[in-house]
Chain A
């Protein structure tokens, strides 16, 4: 079950710690904050699967492991299927009474980066959600293939520079808009879908708990700022996340049963997206006069999306 109260961050950060420090993620990487929150917000046993990616390569390099719980990695694309295979096995063995502890509650969680979630593993995720397994999929969205040195994914926003969608004399970076993964997963009819951010750690922990306690497939996209590829100082990870949520580049919201939308965070002062973009090296080129139109387009997209979210929340349909 979910831990009963989360009073303060210090207490929460040491609760039930099953994610050990022996890892090689970049200093300032938000992945470990998000993973730790997930693992600390429940006392239940956890079976975790990870797609290939930064998290995976940084936490299970033989003969070491950071996972003080059951953990499996198969390939780049199939963590959702691996963990739902385990979930099916749990059901079968529980029915037959062959588990070591037949009554202990178990939660099944898959982690993937945006590359494995939006792109290469999308089919496996979609299939697992359609089948209705009882599991939670968490995307650690840093908007690029960071593990392989920063290539574009379909989560990379328009205008961002990546090694395969470069800014240059003839290009302002990525030309295409980010895929709306939250809407797509909500359209599967999943009982709980959300977008959460580690700077709003209380709402993130609550969202994780909700997903774990909800029976059926749940999907959460988490914003995971990447100091290495977004090009900001590692100490600024949470500051950048603040800019992301307060400029509404990453609105925080949930969708229940595919339709009931709730906004979970409304910034008191909505920042201009310029402030968010200016804090990162990957958007530096947008501030050249010939590229300013891209900033305008990003702002327009944000405004329209926020309007849509508010109207959907109000409509309750």
Chain B
């Protein structure tokens, strides 16, 4: 048995430490990992738990992130609980195996500390890696602070390992802003945390030789489509399970999570929709603007995949002007997140105005004032009844304004 780890009711942890504590408490059987900034401390902390007897499982330090996810796939197919951590270039190197993990329906938990993708090389946080994973068939959950990184990592095991889900789960947090900022975190005791997460019950266990299993078969045009459709269905069908797990977590902790989080949304007319720590910055801006009589609200996407199309729509349909903030270089298109939110809003009778802000790339700071300016531009749109700015614009960029496309008006 692993050594007992005593925790205070309130700890001061950064996001990395919070995530690594959640992995320890979930009694992960195999962690196969490779270090990369800014997620390295998760792996290092885990190494410290191993060295001091706090871990019963195996810790396999491999030679690359591709191997980390490959080892996780082999380990997960062998029936136990599996997790790892990565960021950015490491995530990109894993990409091939991410698709294979989800295709084989293996409930691996990957804590992703979001960071920009090179080139130019950059170690700071943006969401380029998170976006890279968006078609990979994983559930993607987004934490906005250290407490959430801890809570949602525990939830991730329970969601992915649920037999009606059986999908790998990523838990994202923002590089440095969350991962390296010490904050108050209220952890569960080891016993309570494990009681919540529960034992893993393997399906198609490679170490059960009474029933041999073949993983990673080949399918061509005869069956590939059906397999991918089933995978998509599994992702879509995971929504009520995610809700159930969040509800159970609330019973344990009093902390309630939703697939879409709305703040001041009851009567909001101007809204920022965002991911990660930006949600918290935008909330501060919204509250300050409310004191000035501006009906500002914020929507944070907690579960990026499966994308909460209907909940986003329901939450935003009565808004007047919505700013969707993409923290990833769009590479010659509108921001991907903007496109998804816009598509949801297009199906509402009201069709709020929607604009796209590209911001914060490579860790460029996003301030309360910047959020306020974006809200005020939405206010101008709402008052005018049309988009008064470029539909896509870069926010917080040095040098001349960069923006594209305007509303067609007769």
Interface residue B219 (Cβ < 8 Å from any Cβ of A): yes
For A63, the closest partner residue in chain B by CB is B223
Q: Which of B63-92 contact A (CB under 8 A)?
A: 63-64, 66-67, 70-80, 82
Within the complex, the shortest CB–CB distance from A113 to chain B, in Å, comes to 15
Report the bound CA distance from A5 to B239 in whole Å: 57
CA distance A130 to B29 in the complex (A): 21
Residue A196 interfacial (CB < 8 Å)? no
Most buried by A among B58, B82, B227: B58
CB of B212 within 8 Å of the partner chain: yes
CB pair A82 B70 closer than 8 Å: yes
B279 within 8 A of A: no
Q: Which residues of B lie under 8 Å from residue A35 when comparing CB positions?
A: none
Q: List 16 A-B contacts (CB under 8 A).
A: A47-B78, A72-B73, A75-B96, A75-B100, A78-B66, A78-B70, A82-B73, A85-B70, A85-B73, A85-B74, A89-B78, A89-B207, A90-B207, A99-B207, A123-B63, A130-B63
Q: Please tell me if B296 contacts chain A, counting CB pairs below 8 Å.
A: no
Which residues does chain B contribute within 8 Å of A103, judged by CB atoms? none
Let me know if B343 is at the binding interface, CB within 8 A.
Answer: no
Against B, the Cβ 8 Å flags (1 = close, 0 = not) of A67-101 are: 11111111101100111111011111101101111
For B103, the closest partner residue in chain A by CB is A74
**Are A89 and B75 touching (Cβ within 8 A)?**
yes
B284 at the interface (CB under 8 A from A): no
**SS of A interface (majority):** mixed
- Quick one: CB contact mask for A5-49 with B, threshold 8 Å, 1 for yes? 000000000000000000000000000000000000000010101
Please, which residue of chain A has its CB at the minimum distance from the CB of B219? Answer: A62
A interface residues, tally (CB under 8 Å)? 47
By a CB distance below 8 angstroms, the chain B residues around A96 are: 29, 56
- Residues in B204-253 with C-beta less than 8 Å from chain A: 205-210, 212-219, 223, 227
Which residue of B29, B76, B77 is within 8 Å of A93 (Cβ)?
B29
Q: Please tell me if A126 contacts chain B, counting CB pairs below 8 Å.
A: yes
Does residue A288 face the partner (Cβ distance < 8 Å to B)? Answer: no
Partner pick for A60 among B64, B77, B209, B214, CB 8 A cutoff: B214
Q: Does B48 make an interface contact (CB < 8 A)?
A: no
- Chain B residues within an 8 Å CB radius of A294: none
- Pick from B73, B79, B82, B218: contact of A62, CB below 8 A: B218
Q: Taking the nearest CB of chain B, how far is it from the CB of A290, in angstroms? A: 43
A98 pairs with B80, CB closer than 8 A: yes
Contacts A84-B71, A89-B30; A74 near B100 (Cβ below 8 A): yes
With A86-B78, A89-B30, A93-B207 given, is the CB distance from A75 to B70 under 8 Å?
yes
Q: A residues within 8 A CB of B215?
A: 71-73
For residue A124, which residues in chain B have a CB less than 8 angstroms away from its CB? 63, 66-67, 70
B74 lies within 8 A of A82 (CB): yes
A90 neighbours in B (Cβ, 8 Å): 78, 207
Q: Are A69 and B209 in contact (CB under 8 A)?
A: yes
Which single residue of chain B is at the shortest CB-CB distance from A88? Answer: B58
- Please tell me if the beta carbons of B30 and A100 are within 8 angstroms of each other in the complex: no
- Any B CB within 8 A of the CB of A131: yes
Q: Which residue in chain B gives the minimum CB-CB distance to A70?
A: B206
Q: Identify 8 new A-B residue pairs, CB closer than 8 A, beyond the known A61-B217, A81-B74, A123-B67.
A: A70-B213, A72-B206, A75-B100, A81-B70, A85-B32, A100-B207, A130-B63, A131-B62
Q: Are A84 and B209 in touch, CB under 8 angstroms? A: no
- CB <8 Å contact, A84 and B212: no
